[in-house]
């Protein structure tokens, strides 16, 4: 029988580390200080004895204690914050008995380590603005918890816990150990570190990985009352922090003012980056760390993959927060490269719309003309829903072709040219009064700031221009009407969609329509199709192959984070 791990390990997915081979990319995905302090950390100065002698920590302890104005007894070094989080969980959680409170979403290592230690996790969902849900946390604290573990600023939200709030909790719930991970603390003006002198149920973590630019050397710190630190020392491996990290950290602490200046500069770069992104029509959520969240909607994963193809790394956080991509600030050159990739993505991705009953309600125009023509040619009126049912079969996207088929099914014949000649004047007389927009023009205006936007319609030009041309043309990069390219087949063929892709240098797009033929046209050239339930129901559109079904085009606002 094979050796088996603890049962909790079987239930936990591994932590998703960044893919390796990142050195040649613009690394804006893991909140590293990509500029760093190469001029301070020349490896040629690294003493040889550091390689063949066990690490010594006393000098670094003294420098850190002096820098943070605490006693050396209130500090323990760890192999990055990850080890600090792990040993805290293992030191204080009684497996199978203790509850631990975290925020949701939060830094993945926190709940991961707590679960490994055997805690029952109570994850409190953040507020809609991504701030900490204080009421929710307090409700769980009132129910009793061995530990409450939060990052501040939180990752990935950037939310910060008020230190007065933490102090209040420490007083009110003395049997709960509060742990505050301040990995990004240098990027804002709040810290709970001074509170460790007052409370014996508080631990604070800091790291050299972020602002100090030492992510690759793995050096973290845990601060707290001596009694708590002494407990952690029993669990931590004695030489988990290597000598090179100790040496580098001392050198950085001797130049702390330069590190602080770089923090200020990086925040200026972050502000500029956020502003540039917003000017491109994207909504940005700015927390109090060294990154921003961009609302990319359902394109989050596609955009992240596209960036990687262009040698820029960003982090898809949509599995935690719907539609969000996290972008750390890099050097000025890296930020500029990101913006260039964002522009390239925006220009290469198209949003294509059908017109009738997708953007414009034609139930009182085209449908009315079809009804009149069928009765005129056959003397037999249309039944309720008959036209809709015919279009659901596919192949009858053109209303005049549908008219001919409805006439044929009544036992009569009519020439398509005769139908068109009769129908168009009748339609134009009705349409200018009867047709109405069924989408928000402001949405189209915002969408066009991001991407190229098109209409690919089954109408011919003489049906479109007099009724909608003047009003809709300004909101689209181009309108494709049947007959504009006589050599192309109409829907359900994807010819017009393919022409739009080629002529506008698009590498990816979605097509949004209301009919089976719209979906078929998109799928025929391997585009994603969205269905709108104006004439068919969700089941019919899904069955035809639509990947998403909308009640109206306006739902794109949420889907794209507009």
Closest Cα to residue 481, out of 454, 518, 450?
454
The rounded distance, in Å, linking the Cα atoms of 357 and 387 is 13
- Which residue shows structure tokens 């390689």? 51
Q: What DSSP element (H or E) covers 348?
A: helix 332-348
The rounded distance, in Å, linking the Cα atoms of 474 and 434 is 22
Q: Residue 4: its pLDDT value, please? A: 46
How far the first Cα of the chain sits from its last, in Å, is 56
Contacts from 468-477 at CB under 8 Å and sequence distance 24+?
468/355, 468/360, 468/435, 472/359, 475/441, 475/444, 475/445, 475/448, 476/444, 476/448, 477/448, 477/452, 477/453, 477/504
Q: What DSSP element (H or E) covers 292?
A: strand 291-295
Contact 159, 137 (CB under 8 A): no
Q: Residue 163: its pLDDT value, please? A: 95
Q: Residue 92: its pLDDT value, please? A: 92
The rounded distance, in Å, linking the Cα atoms of 440 and 443 is 5
Strand partners, 66: none
Cα 17 to Cα 24, 230, 386: the distances in Å are 17, 30, 56
Q: What is the pLDDT of residues 93-143, one digit of tens each?
A: 999 999 999 999 999 999 999 999 999 999 999 999 999 999 999 999 999
Q: From first to last of its 562 residues, what are the pLDDT tens digits of the chain?
A: 454 445 654 665 655 656 657 657 777 766 666 666 656 655 557 776 677 778 889 999 999 999 999 999 999 999 999 999 999 999 999 999 999 999 999 999 999 999 999 999 999 999 999 999 999 999 999 999 999 999 999 999 999 999 999 999 999 999 999 999 999 999 988 899 999 999 999 999 999 999 898 988 999 999 999 999 999 988 888 889 998 999 999 999 999 999 999 999 999 999 999 999 999 989 999 888 899 999 999 999 999 999 999 999 999 999 889 899 999 999 999 999 999 999 999 999 999 999 999 999 988 887 888 888 888 888 888 888 888 788 778 777 788 888 888 888 888 888 888 888 888 888 788 888 888 999 999 999 999 999 999 999 998 898 899 989 999 999 999 999 999 999 999 999 999 999 999 999 999 999 999 999 999 999 999 999 999 999 899 999 999 999 999 999 999 999 988 8
Contact 370, 73 (CB under 8 A): no
CATH code assigned to 352-357+437-559: 3.40.50.1000
The rounded distance, in Å, linking the Cα atoms of 560 and 451 is 11
Q: What DSSP element (H or E) covers 150?
A: strand 147-151
Residue 490, token pair as written in the block: 């109409």
Q: Residue 175: its pLDDT value, please? A: 93
Q: Residue 10: its pLDDT value, please? A: 60
Q: What residues does each domain of the chain span?
A: 38-257, 352-357+437-559, 360-436
Phi, psi of 531 (to 5 degrees): -105, 145
Closest Cα to residue 480, out of 451, 459, 466?
459
Q: Is 517 left (phi over 0), alpha (psi -120 to 50) or beta?
A: alpha
Contact 157, 318 (CB under 8 A): no
Contact 56, 235 (CB under 8 A): no
3-state secondary structure 236-283: CCCCCCCHHHHHHHHHHHCCHHHHHHHHHHHHHHHHHHHHHHHHCCCC
**Burial tier of 142 (Cβ tally within 10 Å: 0-12, 13-18, 19+):** exposed
Phi, psi of 513 (to 5 degrees): -150, 180
Contact 312, 341 (CB under 8 A): yes
Cα 151 to Cα 182, 198, 289, 452: the distances in Å are 6, 20, 11, 40
Q: Residue 3: its pLDDT value, please? A: 47
The sheet that has 177-181: what strands, in order across it? 75-78, 220-224, 202-207, 177-181, 147-151, 99-104, 120-125
- pTM here is 0.81
CB neighbour list of residue 484: distance below 8 Å, 6 or more residues apart: 461
Under DSSP, the state recorded for 7 is: H
The rounded distance, in Å, linking the Cα atoms of 162 and 25 is 36
The rounded distance, in Å, linking the Cα atoms of 543 and 198 is 64
Peptide bond into 101 cis (omega under 30): no
Which CATH number among 1.10.3720.10, 3.90.1150.10, 2.30.29.30, 3.40.640.10 corresponds to the domain 38-257? 3.40.640.10
Contact 532, 358 (CB under 8 A): yes
Q: Residue 190: its pLDDT value, please? A: 85
Contact 219, 241 (CB under 8 A): yes
């Amino acid at each position: 029988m094979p050796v088996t791990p603890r049962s909790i390990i079987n239930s936990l997915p591994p932590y998703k580390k960044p893919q390796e081979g990142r050195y040649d990319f613009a690394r804006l995905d893991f909140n590293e200080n990509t500029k760093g302090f190469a001029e301070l950390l020349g490896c040629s100065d690294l003493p040889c004895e550091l390689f063949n002698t066990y690490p010594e920590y006393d000098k670094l302890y003294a420098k850190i204690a002096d820098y943070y104005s605490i006693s050396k007894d209130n500090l323990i070094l760890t192999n990055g914050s990850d080890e600090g989080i792990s040993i805290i969980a293992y030191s204080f959680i009684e497996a199978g008995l203790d509850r631990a409170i975290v925020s949701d979403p939060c830094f993945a290592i926190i709940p991961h380590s707590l679960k490994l230690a055997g805690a029952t996790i109570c994850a409190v969902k953040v507020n809609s603005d991504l701030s900490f849900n204080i009421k929710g946390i307090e409700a769980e604290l009132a129910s009793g918890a061995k530990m409450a573990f939060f990052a501040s600023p939180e990752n990935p939200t950037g939310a910060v816990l008020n230190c007065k709030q933490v102090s209040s909790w420490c007083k009110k719930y003395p049997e709960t150990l509060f742990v505050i991970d301040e990995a990004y603390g240098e990027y804002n003006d709040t810290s709970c570190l001074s509170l460790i002198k007052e409370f014996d149920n508080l631990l604070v973590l800091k790291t050299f990985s972020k602002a100090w630019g030492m992510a690759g050397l793995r050096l973290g710190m845990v601060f707290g009352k001596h009694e708590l630190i002494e407990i952690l020392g029993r669990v931590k491996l004695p030489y988990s922090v290597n000598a090179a990290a100790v040496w580098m950290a001392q050198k950085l602490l001797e130049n702390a003012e330069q590190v602080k200046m770089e923090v200020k500069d990086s925040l200026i770069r972050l502000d500029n980056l956020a502003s540039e992104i917003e000017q491109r029509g994207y909504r940005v959520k700015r927390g109090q760390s060294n990154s921003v969240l961009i609302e990319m909607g359902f394109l989050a994963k596609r955009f992240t993959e596209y960036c990687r193809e262009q040698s820029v790394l960003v982090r898809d956080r949509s599995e935690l927060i719907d539609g969000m991509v996290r972008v750390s600030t890099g050097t000025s050159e890296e930020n500029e490269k990101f913006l260039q990739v964002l522009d390239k993505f925006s220009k290469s991705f198209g949003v294509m719309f059908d017109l009738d009953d997708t953007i414009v309600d034609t139930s009182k125009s085209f449908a009315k003309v079809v009804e009149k023509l069928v009765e005129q040619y056959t003397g037999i009126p249309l039944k309720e829903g008959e036209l809709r049912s015919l279009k659901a079969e596919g192949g009858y996207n053109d209303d005049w072709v549908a008219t001919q088929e409805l006439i044929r099914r009544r036992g009569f014949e009519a020439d398509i040219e005769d139908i068109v000649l009769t129908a168009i004047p009748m339609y134009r007389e009705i349409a200018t009064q009867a047709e109405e927009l069924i989408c928000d023009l402001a949405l189209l205006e915002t969408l066009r700031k991001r991407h190229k936007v098109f209409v690919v319609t089954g109408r011919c030009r003489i049906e479109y221009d007099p009724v909608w041309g003047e009003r809709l043309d300004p909101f689209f990069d181009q309108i494709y009407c049947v007959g504009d390219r006589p050599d192309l087949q109409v829907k359900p063929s994807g010819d017009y969609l393919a022409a739009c892709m080629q002529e506008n240098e698009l590498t990816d797009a979605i097509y949004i329509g209301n009919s089976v033929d719209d979906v078929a046209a998109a799928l025929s050239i391997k585009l994603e199709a969205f269905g709108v339930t104006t004439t068919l129901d969700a089941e019919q559109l899904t069955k035809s192959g639509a990947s998403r079904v909308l009640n109206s085009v306006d739902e794109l606002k949420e889907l794209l984070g507009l």
